[in-house]
Amino acid sequence: MNDSGESLPGGDADHLPAVSRGRAVAALVALSTGAFCFVTAELLPIGLLTLIARDLDHTESSIGLLVTGYAVVVMVASVPLTRVTRRLPRRALLGGTLAVFVLSTLVSAAATDYTLLLVARLFTALGQAVFWSVAGPTVASLFPPRVRGRVVSQLAIGASLGPVLGVPAGLWLGQQTGWRTPFAVLTGLGVVTGLAMVASLPGRTGGPIGSMRGTAPDARRYALLMVVTTLAVTGTLSAFTYITPYLLRVGGFTPAALGPLLLVNGVAGVIAVFSVSAFVDRRPWLSLTVPLAVTAVAWLALYVFGTVQAAVVVALALAGLGFNALPPASGSRILHVAPGRVDIASAGASSTFNIGIASGSFFGGLLLAGPGVHILPLFAAVLTALALALMLAEPLLFRRDTSRDSSPADGPRTEPAFPARRVDQGGA
């Protein structure tokens, strides 16, 4: 170790975590649950869109901006907040993000007008900006390097359960008792999750938070990954933000069917996360290209067969299967190609992802107010196809650098010639 508490390359500490496996797994579960809380809070207005619009006397497009504004804050704040807080103990920092979540979500539950609800959600977004930047590198540092890609993908299970359990359950609960109740329930879950997180994460030994580095730094591959992410997320969120009016008006479904339909989409997403975690370390390029292809086909099918209810169900399942595999695959890829510190690269990825969310909900709102809701899946399919084209071109664009990449485009993952530097464990 150096004077700052950072592990030097070549030592045993680079290969062995500083905490027991049981405690590391407990931290993974707690952080995954935290991801569930934030993703559910971010996407909840999608399921409750019509209920909130009617109660607050606002248009559906303006309620969609609750998602857009949230994403913009995460986009703008992720990198600056990660830099400012990088020397804080991770246990206190991540626990603090859940404290912000609890207070702001409680205000959301009590909001009686649109402005207060919007402001409360912007504060929730600030907590998420830090959480997503730090959670992946933190949990990866608790496990040996050979399984870190898998661990980061498993962290995404909680995020995938947000659309599966959180949004459908919130929609059902909102239909029964009002849209504020789901936010109140999330507040209670946030309290429990924050306490579990503080109990399971190790404390501080004095080093900085951001010493983990990419195992095969490549600024161009990282930049391409960010462009692909922006296109794919923009496309999917343009359609998914307004999926409930699409299902009602184009698909001809009843309001009672919305919860089960969103559940189908979410269950497929969880299956995708488990599936991609099995080969994300061995087939990093395929773990990104295959989900993009599935997602593009799904949105195109929804556009073509939007009035055929059976086809709509299948298309929603495929969209969930493809799109939800992208975040864990991207997070694992960042561990390899991050051009500098992994936490800053993760913050950049979080910003990029939320650029896509904000752009998607914004353009989706414009299309909703213009051509109409029926055009949204086609827009999603086109942008996702562009993202797929870029990933297909990656081996050609960077073919001369393949030998330098510890995770080749489509081959077995090999350990780098030098060990990955481990993030300061913060004290066991």
Q: How far apart are CA 119 and CA 53, in angstroms?
A: 16
Q: What is the pTM of this model?
A: 0.72
In the chain, the percentage of residues whose pLDDT exceeds 70 is 86
**Residue 62: domain span:** 14-404
Question: Is residue 61 situated within a structural domain?
Answer: yes
Q: What is the pLDDT of residue 344?
A: 84
Lowest mean pLDDT among 11-25, 61-75, 137-151, 243-257: 11-25
Q: How far apart are CA 414 and CA 406, in angstroms?
A: 6
Q: How far apart are CA 191 and CA 197, in angstroms?
A: 10
If you average pLDDT over residues 203-225, what whole number do you get?
Answer: 70
**123 vs 406, higher pLDDT:** 123
Q: What is the pLDDT of residue 67?
A: 81
| pLDDT band of 400, cuts 50, 70, 90 | low
Question: Is residue 106 situated within a structural domain?
Answer: yes
Mean pLDDT, the chain, as a whole number?
82
Q: How far apart are CA 68 and CA 364, in angstroms?
A: 10
Q: Residue 166: pLDDT above 60?
A: yes
Question: Is residue 292 situated within a structural domain?
Answer: yes
Q: What is the pLDDT of residue 2?
A: 36
| pLDDT band of 49, cuts 50, 70, 90 | confident
**331 vs 95, higher pLDDT:** 95
Question: Is residue 420 situated within a structural domain?
Answer: no
CB-count burial class (<10 Å; 0-12, 13-18, 19+) for 274: middle
Q: What is the pLDDT of residue 22?
A: 85
Q: How far apart are CA 266 and CA 84, in angstroms?
A: 35
If you average pLDDT over residues 63-87, what whole number do you get?
Answer: 85
Rounded to 10 degrees, the C-alpha dihedral 391/364/115/53 comes to: -130
Q: Residue 328: pLDDT above 90?
A: no
Question: Is residue 409 situated within a structural domain?
Answer: no
Q: What is the pLDDT of residue 61?
A: 76
Of 6-15, 152-161, 218-227, 252-261, the range with the highest mean pLDDT is 218-227
Q: What is the pLDDT of residue 273?
A: 80
Give me the residues paired with residue 213 across strands: 341
Q: How far apart are CA 37 and CA 15, in angstroms?
A: 32
b/e burial code for range 47-68 (CB count within 10 A of at least 16 → b): bbbbbbbebbebebbebbbbbb
Q: Residue 379: pLDDT above 50?
A: yes
Task: Output the domain CATH number for residue 292.
Answer: 1.20.1250.20
Q: What is the pLDDT of residue 75?
A: 84
Q: What is the pLDDT of residue 234?
A: 95
Number of domains in the chain: 1
Q: Which residues have a Cβ under 8 Å from the Cβ of 132 and sit 6 or more positions away?
A: 35, 38, 74, 78, 346, 347, 350
Q: Residue 309: pLDDT above 70?
A: yes
Q: Are 407 and 284 in contact (CB under 8 A)?
A: yes
**137 vs 109, higher pLDDT:** 109
Question: Is residue 417 situated within a structural domain?
Answer: no
**240 vs 209, higher pLDDT:** 240
Q: Residue 117: pLDDT above 90?
A: yes
Q: Residue 341: pLDDT above 90?
A: no
**344 vs 130, higher pLDDT:** 130
- What's the chain's Rg over C-alpha atoms? 21
Question: Is residue 413 situated within a structural domain?
Answer: no
Q: Residue 136: pLDDT above 70?
A: yes
Question: Is residue 427 situated within a structural domain?
Answer: no
| pLDDT band of 385, cuts 50, 70, 90 | very high
Q: What is the pLDDT of residue 165?
A: 80
Q: Residue 17: pLDDT above 80?
A: no
